[in-house]
Amino acid sequence: MQDAPIPEPDDATLPRLVALISPLLRSPWALVADDPDMSSQPLCAHPDFIADTHLTSTILSDTGHRLLHAGDDDSATLTLLCDLLAAWLQRRQQNWPALCEYSPQAMLLIDERRERILAANPAAASMLQSTPALLCGLPARVMLPGLAHCADTAAAQALEVCSSDGQSAELTAYLAPAHTTGTAGRIIFLEDPRPLQHWQEQARMHAEHLHTLIDHMPSLVALLDGDLRYIFGNQLHQLWFKIPHHALAGQALEEVLDEITLARLQVPLQKTLGGANLHIEADLLTHQGEKRVEFQILPWQYAGHICGVYLIAHDISEQRRLDDMHALETTHDALTALPHRRSFMQNLRAALSRRSRSGRGMALLYLGVDGMRALNENFGREYGDQMLQHLARILHANIRATDFVARIDGDEFAIILEALEQPEGDARRIADKIIRQLSEPARIAGRPSRLRVSMGIVIIGAHTHSSVDLLLTEGNTAMYQAKNDGRGGIHVTRP
């Protein structure tokens, strides 16, 4: 018996342990956890062992196990065998902390009756503000008051614990099933939920801050899934579409945007679902009226897959209005909204080029207000400005779509007449019509008024070769000739 080797304490040696014990006992036997209900699965047993109430139970001291056997076994052999088994089990238990020392998971080994702590790894000791050496042997029900109520399941359970300084906290516990431990006790895995709860609270706060920022952005923000249905929309949807943002989830984009805008976005949205980042400018119909918006469409990617799109709409109506105003100011007169002198020169040059290709004649009408200085002096600058605006409206209303009118300087205006079959006759008819309308009574600045102009007409034939500067000079000269002829008249010239 003294020559029989004791196997190294690991689960792989259990069959060798059975081979060691079987020759020493007369009847089938079993090595089981020290459970009063005898409900635990045997750690190892004779192949022919059957649980029987007539079996004798011998406790293996300091191991948490007992040996079940027949009562007629040799007492001396039985005593020696129990000592050897106890030594084997104790060595096996002593290896448990070493195996788990470097595990980041907090682990405790307690006896089957949950009365004392058999071992603790450094992670568990740190969580309980103690050391593995100090924890070993302590009453488990004192350190873990809620242990008695823990169900025998691996599911997460709340467990109240007491640290060595007397402070209590609620941890999450996972109680390993008895048959899986292979030890003289039960393993408890501990997790401190407080760091996770802290990060969850931080994440919730960050999410609230992010939602607050997005809700107060001056741009429309939407998150759409792959079917272009809303997952999220910010509060601007309430102002633009009268849809509460909390009611958007699940709505299709076509239920929010007008048909024309949706049709404009269909192709860009499909391209974005394919991975493209796009900027699209379009008109959008809202409850606040039509807006000019710039859509920014970005793919929503998660774990390397495109799950949907971010749709961001910036209202650029005011910016476009300012851009248009700036463009108008660079090409048009601020008072009359007609093109200014520089624009006129550009259009006259283009008209001359078209005339040389078409071979058709054209004419230049150059006119000025008679007595403009006296009008300003007698009735004030505001009256003079409104009179010029009235003149600009009459001129614009009496030209064809192919003609061009501009304010050249002060009270002087010019008109380009293109594609004339009979240049002089056609130009005179338009000039007479303008003069007649201006001579009709009109109310300007609250005062009944008649406006009189003098007009010079420059006939530009199919083969006339003159620069734009020379033509403008010719028109100005013809206008002053009309004034000298008696004002309110027309003077025709050919370069």
- Each residue's pLDDT tens digit, 2-32: 444 444 444 445 566 666 676 777 777 888 7
How many whole angstroms from its chain centre is CA 315?
18
Is residue 344 located within the same domain as residue 281? no
Is residue 40 located within the same domain as residue 53? yes
Give the pLDDT of residue 3: 45
Instruction: Choose one of 290, 319, 348: the last residue of a domain.
Output: 319
Tell me, yes or no, whether 28 lies in a domain.
Answer: yes
Region for residue 227 given its phi and psi (left: phi exceeds 0; alpha: psi -120 to 50; beta: otherwise): alpha
Tell me, yes or no, whether 1 lies in a domain.
Answer: no
Give the pLDDT of residue 209: 84
Tell me, yes or no, whether 48 lies in a domain.
Answer: yes
Is residue 183 located within the same domain as residue 126? yes
Is residue 480 located within the same domain as residue 364? yes
Strands of the 65-69 sheet, one edge to the other:
44-45, 30-33, 65-69, 56-60
Tracing tokens 């020559």 back to the chain, one arrives at 3
Task: Report residue 225's pLDDT band, with 50, 70 and 90 as the boundaries.
Answer: very high
Q: Are 241 and 247 in contact (CB under 8 A)?
A: no
Is residue 22 located within the same domain as residue 156? no
Give the pLDDT of residue 39: 59
Tell me, yes or no, whether 324 lies in a domain.
Answer: no
Q: What is the mean pLDDT of residues 436-440?
A: 88
Is residue 299 located within the same domain as residue 406? no
The 10s digit of each residue's pLDDT in 115-133 is: 788 888 888 888 888 888 8
Strands 453-460 and 490-493: parallel
- Spatial CB neighbours of 202, under 8 Å, sequence gap ≥ 6: none
- Determine which of 201-205, 344-348, 384-388 has the lowest per-residue pLDDT on average: 201-205
Element (H, E) at 437: helix 423-439
Is residue 82 located within the same domain as residue 112? no
Closest CA to 288 of 224, 228, 220: 220
Q: What is the mean pLDDT of residues 51-70?
A: 78
Its pTM surpasses 0.85 = no
Tell me, yes or no, whether 196 lies in a domain.
Answer: no
Count of domains forming the chain: 4
More confident residue, 186 or 281: 281
Instruction: Choose one of 58, 82, 97: the last residue of a domain.
Output: 97
Instruction: Provide the mean pLDDT of the chain.
Output: 82
The pLDDT of residue 179 is above 60: no
Q: What is the mean pLDDT of residues 393-408?
A: 91
Tell me, yes or no, whether 178 lies in a domain.
Answer: yes
More confident residue, 393 or 450: 393
Tell me, yes or no, whether 2 lies in a domain.
Answer: no
More confident residue, 164 or 438: 438
CATH number at residue 428: 3.30.70.270
Give the pLDDT of residue 2: 43
CATH number at residue 273: 3.30.450.20
Q: Are 443 and 463 in contact (CB under 8 A)?
A: no
Tell me, yes or no, whether 78 lies in a domain.
Answer: yes
CA atoms of 53 and 57, how far apart (whole Å): 10
The pLDDT of residue 205 is above 90: no
Instruction: Choose one of 291, 319, 347: the last residue of a domain.
Output: 319
Beta bridge partner(s), residue 454: 368
The pLDDT of residue 392 is above 90: yes
Q: What is the mean pLDDT of residues 300-313?
A: 92
The pLDDT of residue 384 is above 70: yes
CA atoms of 112 and 115, how far apart (whole Å): 8
- Cα–Cα distance list, 179 to 46, 75, 184, 327, 439 (Å): 17, 30, 10, 85, 114
Is residue 15 located within the same domain as residue 71? yes
Strands of the 117-120 sheet, one edge to the other:
117-120, 106-111, 185-191, 168-175, 157-162
Is residue 268 located within the same domain as residue 153? no
The pLDDT of residue 35 is above 70: no
Residue range of the domain that includes 30: 11-97
Is residue 347 located within the same domain as residue 483? yes
Is residue 410 located within the same domain as residue 455? yes
Task: Report residue 433's pLDDT band, with 50, 70 and 90 as the boundaries.
Answer: very high
Beta bridge partner(s), residue 301: 306
Q: What is the mean pLDDT of residues 275-298?
A: 93
Is residue 368 located within the same domain as residue 458? yes
Give pairs for 263-272: CB < 8 Å, separation 24+: 265/295, 265/297, 268/295, 268/297, 269/228, 269/297, 269/309, 269/311, 272/297, 272/298, 272/299, 272/309
Give the pLDDT of residue 194: 80
Give the pLDDT of residue 82: 80
Listed in sequence order, the DSSP H helices in 236-360 are 236-241, 259-273, 317-331, 341-358
